[in-house]
Amino acid sequence: MKPLADNPTQVLLALDRELDHEVSLVLYGRAALCLGFPDTPAGFGTTQDVDGIIRLSQLAALMEDDGFWEAQERANRILEPQGLYITHLFCEDQVFLRPEWESYIVPIVRPQTRWLRLFRPHAVDLILTKMMRGNDPQDMEDVEFIVANSRVTHTEMEAAFQQVRMPDVQELKDAFQKALPIVRQILLDSHGAGSL
C-alpha cells in the first residue's frame, strides 16, 4: 500500500492549493511513475522534485500565464523546508518523444486536485525519456519497471526508436545510442525471444 503522502503528491497538492485556475501538466520522471502506475516501489515516492513536459500546443498560453508561474514560486517556497520542489518544465522538443506523443498521454487520477489536470506520457514515450541520460543505472531500472508494468511490445519500441524526436545535441544522441542496447535487452528479457 502506497503511503498517502509520497513526495510527488505533496508537491502537486501544494501547487494545486496555490492555483486559482485550471492548468494541465504532463508529468514525467519518477513522479510520473509514482503516480501514473499502480503498486509502484516506495522508492519512487521519495523523489524530491516533480518534472513536467510543456506541450507545444499549450506553450504560448502557459508562458503568458503569470498566475501559474507565481503559484509555482509560492509552492516551492512552501515546500523548501522539506527539500521538495516542482522544478524542470521542459518544452516537448527538449525531451525524447515520438512526434505524435501527445495523442497518447494517459490521465493521472491521483492525487485528487481542484485545478491541476495531470497526465503522463504513454509507456513507450516514458521509456524514450529515460534514455536521455544514456545507460544511467536508475533510469534503466525505471525502464525495467515500465516494461514489466505495461503492454509495451518490442515492435512498438523499435518503431519508436526509429521515430524518436530529440534535440540536435550530440551528447543526447550519444546518450540514446548508449541506452539503446540496454533497453532492447530489457525488452528481450521481459518478453522472451519468442514474443518478439
Per-residue pLDDT band at 192 (split at 50, 70, 90) = low
Residues 30 and 115 reside in one and the same domain: yes
Residues 107 and 152 reside in one and the same domain: no
pLDDT, averaged across the chain: 92
Residues 75 and 93 reside in one and the same domain: yes
Q: Which residue has the cell 504532463?
A: 26
Residues 34 and 49 reside in one and the same domain: yes
Residues 51 and 145 reside in one and the same domain: no
Residues 127 and 75 reside in one and the same domain: no
Residue span of the structural domain in which 163 resides? 123-196
Tell me the pLDDT tens digit for each residue of 125-160. 999 999 999 999 999 999 999 999 999 999 999 999
Last residue of a domain, one of 68, 96, 121: 121
Residues 114 and 130 reside in one and the same domain: no
Task: State the DSSP H helix or E strand holding residue 116, giving kind and residue range, or none if neither.
Answer: strand 116-120
Residues 107 and 157 reside in one and the same domain: no
Last residue of a domain, one of 98, 121, 144: 121
Per-residue pLDDT band at 173 (split at 50, 70, 90) = very high
Cis before 99 (ω within 30): no
Last residue of a domain, one of 121, 146, 161: 121
Task: State the DSSP H helix or E strand holding residue 183, giving kind and residue range, or none if neither.
Answer: helix 170-191
Residues 34 and 3 reside in one and the same domain: yes
Give the total number of structural domains in the chain.
Answer: 2
Q: What is the mean pLDDT of residues 165-178?
A: 96
Phi, psi of 152 (to 5 degrees): -65, 135
Q: What is the DSSP letter of 97?
A: B
pLDDT over 50 at 43, yes or no: yes
Residues 15 and 108 reside in one and the same domain: yes
Residues 5 and 18 reside in one and the same domain: yes
Residues 136 and 117 reside in one and the same domain: no
Name the nearest CA neighbour of 89 among 53, 64, 60. Answer: 53
